[in-house]
């Protein structure tokens, strides 16, 4: 027996006053005379009151409660009113119901044979097994948490003038127990209890006082919780109701269920998660859970030892429970608070890291990266590139910030994958929650994949109505390539010079950017120049330059035909990133589409970089060009960092592939991916990030154009939304690329705490693509750093 029925009265007088002593015959008489229940009476355990189980002839069962005469009638009234309130607001919650007298009174005063007067009440009897301490099943522990939260919710709107009465088991009064610790004979245990009570008073209570408070049950213990298998079927005994911090309610069940649990932290986490699912706990509340549990545990020990001293006749009965809490208390000293806190947060699907980065902190001593670099070289190969001369050892991301191992924060204006910001809490929370619920594959029915496909296609033009889910941009393009070949029966590909579409074998052939100098492209691939109006062969000053570039498509089709190929697909980004952040001029894509389709090919918009609002004015890059692609591929920002990607196409195109072969991707479109995808869409919408990309992007471009007036090195500033290219040239007439200068600037900006990148065939274009939570102040910070770097060069 782990749980010791403990005194729970507020005033000691209740404990010291003799309990009522009615016989069963007298109890049965009270039931009949005063409550109209013809029943037999059977005594139930109670230390301070007297309770009888009544069995009526019609099979109904009741509890007759005769209160200790020193109990304040106002407190008894509070308990009765609370039961009535809960029954009204959450009728499904299994708690005892109040039986009134035939006159409608909530209680009846009865006279004892000893001349004292007693308050008698009748409640319904709740059948069920008592909750067992021994390692409860996780589902049961969770339901205990859920039930605790439901009771708290039901009591939320309840108040009673007696609510702030004195109660021995009031956690907020725990420090008072220091006057009792001399009853703890073992010096070590006594010190532990005192230490916890001191800590509680100094560190916990001040925080606790700031938390939401209300009337709580305050005694959801094993003896007061009825269960059936893994479910809680009822809660009884409202004798410890008190106005207290809401979170205190959870300390009792946690304490009682971890005392014998083989994995106490996991059990505590289950209870907390169950609670959190009904009533979301905030960071401050979660942060106190273990302190409250250890304080409650110390209370068990202090009160238990005192009771043993006062009631040696009950020694064995009381002592067994106290001993278990004493052991738990000693064990808890060893637990690492951070780990427990992280465990609770994880169980509640809350982001683990919540500390706000200290943005004011500057680089401390540079970390010695050599050992780490060496290990990386050894195992990932020396060729695997790292950004910046002084690589960043990043340990955390938050919003637009990347934080390195020395604690320094870098403004991230480069990473376009965390579209809604690094580690966006809503996305992380949704991801964790789904990962803790279900993750499987698309061969099962589940809602999220359908909903996600519906949401994605709703953002696309009519006709682009079916989705295929994979895990990376490369895979999405690979699938697009297969779709195009299957649908057209052709095998040729047309891509932009310097395009990059991915890393698979087929897509490598369609990614000239990856072909080292002189390495020929495959025979089935033809390239066209990016419509670069700044340094390309047709320039912006020619009003026809878009058409001239489009004409190159005819040449590419002819060149394929000459090699006995016809185009299956034209792959294009809607901002040509690896060509140096080139925005296609108006009319170019429209004309290109016509030519490709005339040549028998499909048009594949690679939105891996440009999609999801980055370009500001439109959700998809292609929408700015009045074209409807045949296939759209999505990746990078789609999951804000979770590996996922998609292909959106027309049903007839999908059908062509499926006729040839089955399509299945084991992890593509899994429930976690789809939940993340849906949440990213929600956050983009809720935080209006596309709109932000438009106006912050315009502001940033204008600021950089301002710098161009000061620094002739800036040859061109271009882009859309928060996808910006700054082309550096040594001479504005010869356009000699300033590649070394670009590298120097990017590295200097890194040292100044701002991260940007480089792209383009001449490696002279600064690439700026921050998470879309980038705001005006971030734009100013970037411009300042760029200004300084340019000035120094």
Q: How far is the CB of 535 from ligand PMP (least distance, A)?
A: 21
Residue nearer to ligand PMP on the CB measure, 500 or 588: 500
Q: Which secondary-structure segment (H or E) carries 696?
A: helix 689-710
For residue 640, state whether it binds ligand PMP (rule: CB under 6 A).
no
Q: Is 473 in the site for ligand PMP (CB under 6 A)?
A: yes
Residue of 635, 669, 725, 770 that binds ligand PMP (CB under 6 A): 635
- Residue 119 interacting with ligand PMP (CB under 6 A): no
Nearer to ligand PMP, 4 or 472 (CB): 472
Is 574 an interacting residue with respect to ligand PMP (CB under 6 A)? Answer: no
Q: Is 415 in the site for ligand PMP (CB under 6 A)?
A: no
Nearest Cα residue to 540 out of 582, 579, 571? 582
Of 119 and 772, which has the nearer Cβ to ligand PMP? 772
- Tokens (6 digits) for 466: 């079916």
614: contact with ligand PMP by CB under 6 A: no
Question: Minimum Å distance from CB 241 to ligand PMP?
Answer: 57
Residues 6+ apart with CB under 8 A from 762: 580, 737, 739
Among 477, 623, 640, 703, which residue sits at the site for ligand PMP (rule: CB under 6 A)? 477
In the complex, the smallest distance separating the C-beta of residue 646 from ligand PMP, rounded to whole angstroms, is: 11
Tell the smallest beta-carbon distance from residue 471 to ligand PMP (Å).
8
Nearest to ligand PMP of 573, 716 (CB atom): 573
Q: Which residue is nearest to ligand PMP (CB)?
A: 473
677 touches ligand PMP (CB under 6 A)? no
Say if strands 602-606 and 567-573 run parallel, antiparallel, or are unpaired. Answer: parallel
Q: How many angstroms separate the CA atoms of 156 and 158, rounded?
A: 6
User: Site for ligand PMP (CB under 6 A): which residue of 500, 545, 565, 576?
Assistant: 500
List Cα–Cα distances, 131 to 45, 145, 320, 520, 693, in angstroms: 17, 13, 18, 74, 55
First-to-last C-alpha distance (Å) of the chain = 78
DSSP H stretches of helix in 459-513: 473-488, 505-509
Closest to ligand PMP by CB, 48 vs 767, is: 767
Q: Which is nearer to ligand PMP, 459 or 503 (CB)?
A: 503
609 touching ligand PMP, by CB under 6 A: yes
User: Which pair of structure tokens corresponds to residue 241?
Assistant: 């109701």
Binding residues for ligand PMP, rule CB under 6 A, total 14
Which region among 7-15, 132-140, 264-272, 466-474 touches ligand PMP (by CB under 6 A)?
466-474
- For residue 649, what are the β-bridge partners? 466, 631
Q: How far apart are CA 728 and CA 2, in angstroms?
A: 75
Asked whether position 478 contacts ligand PMP by CB under 6 A, the answer is no
Q: Which is nearer to ligand PMP, 328 or 499 (CB)?
A: 499
Decide if residue 501 touches ligand PMP (CB under 6 A): yes
Element (H, E) at 556: helix 545-562
Residue 524 or 614: the one with the smaller Cβ distance to ligand PMP is 614
Stretch that binds ligand PMP, among 51-59, 129-137, 354-362, 494-502 (CB under 6 A): 494-502
**Which of 3-11, 98-106, 501-509, 693-701 is the region at the interface with ligand PMP (rule: CB under 6 A)?**
501-509
Least separation, in Å, of the C-beta of 689 and ligand PMP? 20
639 binds ligand PMP (CB under 6 A): no
Measured from the CB atom, the residue of 240 and 497 that comes closer to ligand PMP is: 497
- Tell me if 630 contacts ligand PMP by CB under 6 A: no
3-state SS record for 12-57 = HHHHHCCCCCCCHHHHHHHHHHHHCCCEEEEEECCCCCEEEEEEEC
Q: Are 413 and 767 in contact (CB under 8 A)?
A: no
Segment contacting ligand PMP (CB under 6 A): 231-239, 456-464, 605-613, 746-754?
605-613
Q: Which stretch binds ligand PMP (CB under 6 A): 100-108, 130-138, 256-264, 495-503?
A: 495-503
Candidate list 50, 294, 472, 656; residue touching ligand PMP; CB under 6 A: 472
- For strands 225-228 and 117-124, give the pairing: unpaired
- Residue 248 or 608 with smaller CB distance to ligand PMP: 608
CA dihedral of 749, 750, 755, 761, whole degrees rounded to 10: 70
When binding is defined by CB under 6 A, the residue of 270, 324, 498, 573 that contacts ligand PMP is: 573
Of 351 and 493, the one with the shorter C-beta distance to ligand PMP is: 493
CA separation (Å) from 754 to 85, 121, 354, 388? 58, 71, 23, 12
Query: 374: which DSSP letter?
Result: H
Alpha carbon distances (Å) from 638 to 274, 418, 663: 31, 9, 21
In the complex with ligand PMP, the residue whose CB is nearer, 205 or 722, is: 722
Beta-ladder partners of 443: none
Nearer to ligand PMP, 345 or 614 (CB): 614
φ, ψ for residue 378, nearest 5 deg: -60, -40
> Cα 603 vs. chain centroid, distance in angstroms?
38
Per DSSP, what are the bridge partners of residue 725?
718, 767
**For residue 234, what are the CA distances in angstroms to 150, 156, 226?**
12, 19, 5
Question: CA dist 138 to 115, 233, 269, Å?
Answer: 51, 16, 9
Which tokens hold the place of 525? Answer: 């691939």
Using alpha carbons, select from 515, 636, 519, 522 the residue that is nearest to residue 573.
636
8 Å CB contact between 452 and 677: yes
Instruction: Tell me the CA distances in angstroms from 387 to 285, 384, 768, 788, one per residue in order.
Output: 41, 10, 14, 21
* Four-point Cα dihedral 40, 45, 46, 52, nearest 10: -10
Binding segment for ligand PMP (CB under 6 A), chosen from 156-164, 426-434, 500-508, 592-600, is: 500-508
- Least spacing, CB of residue 155 vs ligand PMP, in Å: 51
CB of 494 to ligand PMP, least distance (A): 16
401-404 vs 394-398, strand pairing mode: antiparallel
Question: CB of 511: closest distance to ligand PMP in angstroms?
Answer: 8
Q: Which is nearer to ligand PMP, 34 or 498 (CB)?
A: 498
C-beta of 256 vs 606, nearer to ligand PMP = 606
Q: Which is nearer to ligand PMP, 473 or 641 (CB)?
A: 473
- Select the span of 19-27, 173-181, 603-611, 776-784 touching ligand PMP (CB under 6 A): 603-611
d(CA 793, CA 785): 12
474 is an interface residue for ligand PMP by CB under 6 A: yes
Give residues in contact with ligand PMP (CB under 6 A). 472-474, 477, 500-503, 573, 577, 606, 608-609, 635
């Amino acid at each position: 027996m782990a749980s010791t029925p403990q005194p729970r009265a507020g005033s000691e007088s209740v404990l010291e006053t003799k309990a009522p002593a009615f016989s069963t015959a007298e109890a049965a008489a009270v039931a009949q005379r005063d409550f109209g229940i013809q029943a037999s009476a059977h005594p139930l355990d109670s230390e301070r009151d007297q309770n009888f189980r009544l069995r009526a002839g019609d099979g109904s069962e009741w509890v007759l409660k005769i209160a200790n005469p020193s109990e304040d009638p106002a407190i008894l009234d509070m308990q009765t009113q609370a039961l009535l309130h809960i029954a009204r607001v959450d009728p499904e919650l299994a708690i005892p119901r109040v039986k009134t007298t035939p006159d409608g009174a909530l209680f009846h005063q009865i006279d004892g044979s000893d001349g004292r007067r007693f308050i008698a009440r009748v409640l319904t009897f709740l059948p069920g097994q008592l909750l067992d301490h021994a390692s409860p099943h996780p589902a049961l522990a969770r339901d205990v948490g859920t039930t605790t939260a439901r009771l708290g919710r039901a009591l939320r709107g309840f108040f009673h003038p007696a609510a702030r009465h004195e109660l021995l088991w009031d956690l907020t009064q725990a420090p008072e127990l220091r006057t009792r610790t001399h009853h703890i004979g073992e010096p070590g245990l006594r010190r532990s209890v005192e230490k916890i009570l001191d800590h509680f008073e100094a560190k916990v209570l001040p925080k606790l006082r700031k938390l939401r408070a209300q009337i709580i049950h305050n005694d959801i213990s094993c003896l007061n919780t009825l269960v059936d298998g893994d479910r809680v079927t009822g809660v009884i005994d409202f004798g410890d109701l008190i106005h207290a911090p809401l979170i205190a309610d959870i300390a009792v069940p946690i304490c009682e269920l971890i005392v014998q649990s083989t994995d106490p932290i996991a059990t505590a986490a289950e209870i907390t998660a169950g609670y959190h699912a009904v009533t979301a706990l905030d960071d401050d509340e979660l942060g106190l859970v273990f302190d409250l549990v250890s304080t409650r545990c110390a209370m068990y020990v202090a009160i238990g030892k005192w009771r043993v001293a006062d009631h040696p006749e009950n020694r064995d009965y009381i002592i067994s429970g106290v001993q278990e809490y004493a052991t738990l208390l000693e064990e808890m000293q060893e637990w690492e608070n951070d780990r427990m806190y992280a465990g609770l947060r994880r169980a509640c699907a809350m982001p683990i890291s919540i500390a706000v980065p200290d943005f004011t902190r500057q680089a401390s001593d540079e970390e010695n990266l050599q050992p780490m670099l060496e290990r990386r070289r050894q195992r990932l190969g020396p060729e695997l590139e790292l950004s910046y001369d002084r690589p960043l050892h990043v340990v955390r991301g938050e919003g637009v910030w990347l934080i390195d191992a020395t604690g320094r924060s870098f403004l991230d204006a480069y990473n376009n994958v965390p579209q809604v910001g690094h580690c966006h809490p809503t996305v992380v929370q949704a991801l964790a929650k789904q990962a803790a619920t279900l993750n499987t594959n698309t061969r099962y029915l589940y809602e999220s994949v359908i909903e996600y496909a519906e949401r994605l296609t709703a953002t696309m033009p009519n006709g682009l109505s079916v989705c295929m889910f994979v895990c990376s941009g490369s895979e999405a393009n690979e699938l697009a390539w297969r779709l195009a070949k299957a649908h057209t029966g052709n095998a040729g590909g047309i891509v932009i010079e310097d395009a990059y579409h991915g890393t698979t074998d087929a897509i490598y052939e369609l990614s000239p950017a990856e072909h080292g100098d002189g390495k020929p492209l495959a025979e089935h691939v033809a390239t066209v120049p990016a419509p670069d109006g700044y340094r390309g062969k047709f320039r912006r000053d020619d009003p026809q330059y878009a058409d001239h570039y489009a004409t190159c498509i005819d040449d590419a089709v002819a060149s394929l035909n000459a090699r006995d190929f016809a185009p299956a697909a034209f792959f294009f980004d809607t901002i040509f990133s690896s060509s140096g952040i080139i925005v296609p001029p108006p009319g170019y894509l429209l004309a290109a589409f016509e030519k490709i389709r005339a040549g028998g090919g499909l048009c594949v918009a690679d939105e891996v970089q440009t999609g999801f609002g980055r370009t500001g004015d439109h959700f998809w890059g292609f929408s700015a060009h009045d074209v409807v692609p045949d296939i759209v591929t999505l990746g990078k920002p789609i999951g804000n960092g979770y590996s996922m990607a998609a292909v959106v196409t027309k049903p007839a195109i999908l059908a062509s592939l499926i006729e040839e072969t089955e399509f299945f991707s084991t992890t593509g479109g899994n429930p976690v991916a789809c939940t993340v995808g849906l949440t990213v869409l929600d956050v983009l919408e809720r935080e209006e990030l596309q709109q932000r990309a438009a106006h912050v992007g315009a502001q940033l471009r204008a600021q950089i154009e301002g710098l161009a007036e000061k620094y002739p090195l800036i040859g061109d500033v271009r882009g859309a939304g928060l996808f910006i290219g700054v082309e550096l040239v040594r001479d504005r007439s010869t356009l000699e690329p300033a590649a070394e200068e670009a590298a120097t600037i990017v590295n200097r900006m890194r040292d100044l705490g701002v991260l940007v990148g480089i792209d383009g065939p001449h490696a002279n274009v600064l690439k700026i693509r921050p998470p879309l939570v980038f705001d005006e102040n971030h734009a100013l910070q970037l411009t300042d750093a760029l200004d300084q770097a340019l000035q120094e060069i």
